[in-house]
């Protein structure tokens, strides 16, 4: 199978134990060198809940939400596409965040978590009439308008109630990231063009019908971005639009990247926020304009890890060693979609040097089913071992599938020595439920 790896995502295999920057806040090794997160030993968790398993450190999730709120107050929305369960929606809003939802499904989960609808921001390049009607009916705080067809639908509803509107614009910025997750360029399905005047026309029509309720602008240049140039360029591109239309809210979007590999570093949310503030000031954006951000990955990625059990080890002499685990592209499609690299380690040997080069693969029926393309594990890795991939808290569970009719793993939150199931493991009955 022909797999294309982007330069940005090429793995840099390291033999060192996993760096603390890739681990959840409360992770540490106990006296047996075994991994403990949230005060719970991973092997105890696995004994109770089985594998594969998504484990999230609640303290880490809360710390990242607090960091975003400290910087932007109610302008900080958590992008739920990165990871959404009712428990996560509650946690993020308890910590003061608003929530970005971009489908009727995400909206429904946020509402089921009893999140105040005024804290919801509704996104999407193709919101259906039903989705818009529901969003308006429940009174979401804001809808981010993305097309003229959507404007036609909104006008047909007539009354927005308490909902306010932002216009999503394409700032014409090429973010330095993987092709599939760039969104700020002119050639995009998202947003309305600043350069071509489309965004101005949308604003004029919306203002004519909805007046002062149209008070915001939104842009999002892409995801997994670790340098600030693109954000600065975005802010400079959007600033004149804010002034011309006398807007009150500028949402800079999400997109802050995280480190996935030992050798990588990424800025903190606080550093990102500071760069945004400086750029907004530099671009002459009025101080009364509220600045917002919409981080997804940077809130949840490092808080979460996936635990698998090693099932088979196959050495192909002169070529490589395949270590097969009991999950794969159904719980983490990112390697096959974007060529993303991950680290891997054994939960029982946290400080072990990882000298054995391996390719960790899943149990699906295709060769692209790779969990860690160029991984390193300790020499004594064995069938039955629990191996862990860190930094899987974003876009893993949320993009999980039932490919090959595998059941999706449960999600466990750990905190203060307690583990709670926030999503139970799927069962074969769940798989069959939809079939008459």
* Length reported for the chain: 436
* Between 79 and 422, CB nearer to ligand LLP: 79
Asked if 110 and 425 count as a contact pair (C-beta separation under 8 A), the reply is no
CB of 319 to ligand LLP, least distance (A): 29
Q: Which residues are catalytic?
A: 365
Q: Could you tell me which stretch among 133-141, 231-239, 241-249, 253-261 binds ligand LLP (CB under 6 A)?
A: 253-261
Give CA–CA dist 252/234, Å, rounded.
8
- Nearest of 282, 287, 268 to residue 234 by alpha carbon: 282
CB of 433 to ligand LLP, least distance (A): 27
Q: Which of residues 75-114 bind ligand LLP (CB under 6 A)?
A: 79, 81-82, 100
Angle at CA of residue 99, ends 63 and 83, nearest 5°: 65
- Asked whether position 330 contacts ligand LLP by CB under 6 A, the answer is no
- Asked whether position 171 contacts ligand LLP by CB under 6 A, the answer is no
From the centroid of its chain, how far is CA 200?
30
- Asked whether position 182 contacts ligand LLP by CB under 6 A, the answer is no
**Residue 339 falls in which region: left (phi positive, over 0), alpha (psi -120 to 50) or beta:** left
- Asked whether position 124 contacts ligand LLP by CB under 6 A, the answer is no
Number of chain residues interacting with ligand LLP (CB under 6 A) = 21
Asked if 350 and 33 count as a contact pair (C-beta separation under 8 A), the reply is yes
Single residue of 26, 223, 306, 332 touching ligand LLP by CB under 6 A: 223
- Asked whether position 334 contacts ligand LLP by CB under 6 A, the answer is yes
Single residue of 117, 141, 254, 267 touching ligand LLP by CB under 6 A: 254
- Asked whether position 146 contacts ligand LLP by CB under 6 A, the answer is no
Single residue of 24, 172, 216, 253 touching ligand LLP by CB under 6 A: 253
Beta-strand runs (E) in 148-248: 164-170, 192-193, 214-218
- Asked whether position 259 contacts ligand LLP by CB under 6 A, the answer is no
359: its two tokens: 């390719």
- Asked whether position 224 contacts ligand LLP by CB under 6 A, the answer is yes
SS3 352: coil
243-247: long-range contacts, CB 8 A cutoff, minimum separation 24: 243/284, 243/285, 243/286, 244/200, 245/200, 245/203, 245/207, 245/217, 247/215, 247/216, 247/217, 247/289
Q: How far from 20 is each of 25, 51, 170, 263, CA to CA, in Å? A: 8, 24, 37, 12
Single residue of 171, 255, 327, 390 touching ligand LLP by CB under 6 A: 255
Asked if 303 and 66 count as a contact pair (C-beta separation under 8 A), the reply is no
CB of 293 to ligand LLP, least distance (A): 8
- Asked whether position 181 contacts ligand LLP by CB under 6 A, the answer is yes
Q: Could you tell me which stretch among 12-20, 50-58, 74-82, 356-364 binds ligand LLP (CB under 6 A)?
A: 74-82
- Which positions ≥6 away from 257 have C-beta within 8 Å? 177, 223, 224, 225, 226, 266, 297, 298
* Between 77 and 324, CB nearer to ligand LLP: 77
* Between 150 and 294, CB nearer to ligand LLP: 294
- Nearest of 172, 186, 191 to residue 230 by alpha carbon: 172
* Between 179 and 286, CB nearer to ligand LLP: 179
Q: How far from 119 is each of 37, 78, 79, 80, 143, CA to CA, in Å? A: 31, 10, 12, 13, 11
Q: How far from 115 is each of 22, 99, 232, 341, 402, CA to CA, in Å? A: 30, 9, 32, 35, 28
- Asked whether position 60 contacts ligand LLP by CB under 6 A, the answer is no
* Between 82 and 310, CB nearer to ligand LLP: 82
- Asked whether position 228 contacts ligand LLP by CB under 6 A, the answer is no
* Between 122 and 345, CB nearer to ligand LLP: 122
Site string (288-327) toward ligand LLP, x via CB under 6 A? ------xxxxx-----------------------------
Site residues, ligand LLP (CB under 6 A): 79, 81-82, 100, 123, 181, 220, 223-224, 253-256, 294-298, 334, 338, 395
């Amino acid at each position: 199978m022909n797999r294309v790896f982007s330069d940005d995502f090429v793995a840099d295999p390291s033999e060192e134990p996993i760096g603390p920057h890739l681990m959840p806040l409360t992770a540490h090794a106990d006296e047996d060198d075994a991994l403990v997160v949230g005060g719970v030993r991973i092997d105890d968790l696995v004994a109770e809940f089985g594998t594969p398993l998504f484990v999230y450190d609640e303290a880490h999730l809360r710390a990242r939400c607090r960091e975003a709120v400290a910087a932007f107050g109610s302008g900080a929305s958590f992008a739920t596409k990165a990871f959404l369960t009712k428990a996560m929606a509650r946690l993020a809003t308890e910590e003061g965040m608003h929530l970005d939802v971009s489908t009727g499904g995400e909206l429904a989960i946020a509402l089921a978590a009893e999140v105040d609808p005024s804290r919801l921001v509704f996104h999407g390049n193709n919101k259906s009439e039903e989705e818009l009607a529901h969003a308006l009916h429940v009174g979401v705080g804001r809808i981010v308008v993305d097309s003229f067809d959507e404007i036609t639908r909104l006008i047909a509803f007539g009354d927005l109630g308490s909902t306010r509107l932002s216009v999503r614009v394409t700032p014409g910025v090429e973010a330095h990231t993987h092709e599939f997750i760039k969104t700020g360029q002119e050639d995009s399905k998202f947003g309305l063009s600043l350069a071509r005047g489309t965004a101005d026309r949308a604003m004029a029509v919306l203002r004519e019908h909805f007046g002062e309720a149209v008070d915001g602008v939104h842009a999002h240049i892409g995801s997994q971005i670790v340098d600030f140039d693109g954000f600065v360029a975005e802010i400079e591109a959007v600033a004149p639009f804010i002034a011309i239309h006398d807007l009150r809210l500028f949402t800079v979007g999400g997109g802050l990247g995280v480190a996935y590999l030992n050798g990588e570093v990424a800025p903190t949310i606080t550093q990102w926020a500071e760069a945004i503030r400086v750029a907004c000031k530099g671009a002459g954006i009025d101080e009364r304009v509220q600045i917002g951000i919409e981080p997804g990955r940077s809130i949840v990625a490092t808080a979460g890890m996936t635990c698998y059990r090693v099932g088979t080890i196959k050495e192909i002499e002169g070529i490589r060693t395949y270590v097969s685990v009991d999950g794969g592209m159904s719980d983490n499609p990112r390697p096959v979609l974007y060529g993303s690299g991950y680290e891997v380690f054994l939960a029982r040997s946290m400080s072990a040097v990882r000298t054995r080069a391996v390719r960790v693969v899943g149990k699906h029926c295709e060769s692209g089913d790779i969990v860690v393309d160029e991984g390193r594990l300790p020499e004594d890795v064995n069938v039955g071992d629990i191996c862990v991939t860190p930094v899987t808290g974003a876009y893993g569970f949320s993009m999980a599938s039932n490919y090959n009719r595998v059941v999706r793993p449960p999600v466990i939150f750990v905190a203060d020595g307690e583990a709670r199931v926030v999503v139970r493991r799927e069962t074969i009955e769940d798989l069959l439920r939809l079939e008459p």
